[in-house]
Amino acid sequence: MSFTSIVKSEVSKVELFGSENISELSAIIRNSNYQENSIKITTENASVARHIYSLIKDVYDISPIITARKGYNYQKKFIYIVEIKQKKAIILSDLCIDNGDLNNVPKDYLVADEELKRAYIKGVFLITGSVNDPKKSRYHLEFIVDNEKYANFISDLLNTFDLNSKVLKRESKFMVYIKEAEKIGDFLRLIKASNAVLYYEDIRIYRDHKNMTNRLNNCEQANIDKMIEAATKQVNDIQTIIDVVGIDLLDEKEQVVATYRLKYPEASLQELSEIITIETGKAITKSGINHRIRKIEKIANRIRTNEKK
């Protein structure tokens, strides 16, 4: 079962009350197929189909027809169709759905407060939404709807909860989507998918920790590479001085640093200062090492310049 199906199964069991049921049902039917004599609601999730059946029965005291058939995709999943043949006109009018208006958005009273907005968003998700499994791919949640005006309405509704959703045209449809991992977690909380939130956040925290570890490892490796590159250049500078004019050109303190750099070519400046301090009995800091290395570099550069002339 996909993560989307798991989330939909969970939220389809969350009980709503009173006008919240009307808001959710309005979203469900708005995103379904209403024909001349019936309303057809299609889903691949049996739990969602049962939930919609109960919702319609409780609100309108009618019994929809549920049929199941094999899908045409390669997985051949069952598709469940909840068909309403009674009170079609009453239901559409009651839920503020204009049968002929594709730009139809719900009346303000259907999303008048926070709980009604949550209920409406839940209904839209049950029919048009999908969310990627954070363990298997990138973070992504989307709704596919039929026109731009309605897509912008859904996006604005989501953004009243600070979810940072955006709208994108996709062929003849419009996609409302959320990309940020933290915001997707907030959405799952919004529709009260408690178990899905726990799973999602566990995976998100693990992935964030793993990414942080990788970044630290990459940073550490980059620092090591820089240190090796710098040490190699220092060895080359010292070798140039020895080969051309001899190490006696350096003063006593510089000779000590040069000798130990050649002896320990892979040591960092901090490690080199500790080694020299221990082996010579004369304390020298990392800053002192660096100062003498710079003087050696200047001498080597002058030698190379003179050789070119």
Q: DSSP letter string over 72-99? A: SSTT--EEEEEEE-SSHHHHHHHTT--T
Q: Look up residue 76 and give its two tokens.
A: 């051949």
| CA 103 to chain CA centroid, nearest Å | 31
Res. 119 pLDDT band, cuts 50 70 90? very high
Q: Is the pLDDT of residue 157 over 80?
A: yes
Residue 167's pLDDT is 94
Residue ranges of domains in the chain: 3-192, 226-308
Residue 63's pLDDT is 87
Of 67-81, 128-142, 258-272, least confident by mean pLDDT is 67-81
Residue 103's pLDDT is 62
Spatial distance between the Cα atoms of 155 and 174, rounded to a whole number of angstroms: 11
Res. 146 pLDDT band, cuts 50 70 90? confident
User: 187-207: per-residue pLDDT in tens?
Assistant: 999 999 989 989 888 887 777
Residue 71's pLDDT is 67
User: What count of other Cβ atoms lies within 10 Å of the Cβ of residue 289?
Assistant: 23
Residues in the chain, how many? 309
Share of the chain above pLDDT 70, in %: 94
Res. 158 pLDDT band, cuts 50 70 90? very high
Q: Is the pLDDT of residue 169 over 70?
A: yes
Spatial distance between the Cα atoms of 24 and 96, rounded to a whole number of angstroms: 12
Encoded amino acid at 168, one letter: L
Mean pLDDT across 140-167: 93
Spatial distance between the Cα atoms of 144 and 128, rounded to a whole number of angstroms: 5
Residue 76's pLDDT is 62
More confident position, 3 or 216: 3
CATH number of 3-192: 3.10.28.10
Spatial distance between the Cα atoms of 257 and 307, rounded to a whole number of angstroms: 25
Q: Is the pLDDT of residue 223 over 60?
A: yes
Torsion angle, CA of 222/224/226/231, rounded to 10 degrees?
-170
User: 59-104: per-residue pLDDT in tens?
Assistant: 888 888 888 887 665 556 788 888 888 888 888 887 877 765 656 7
Q: Which of 134, 136, 140, 142 is nearest to 208 (CA)?
A: 134
Q: Which of 166, 107, 129, 113 is nearest to 31 (CA)?
A: 129
Please report the sign of the dihedral spanned by the C-alpha atoms of residue 32, residue 34, residue 35, residue 41. Answer: positive
Residue 134's pLDDT is 86
Spell out the residues 6+ positions from residue 136 whose beta carbon is closer than 8 angstroms to its own. 3
Report which secondary-structure segment, H or E, holds 69: strand 65-70
Cβ atoms 273, 289 nearer than 8 A: yes
Residue 70's pLDDT is 77
Residue 188's pLDDT is 94
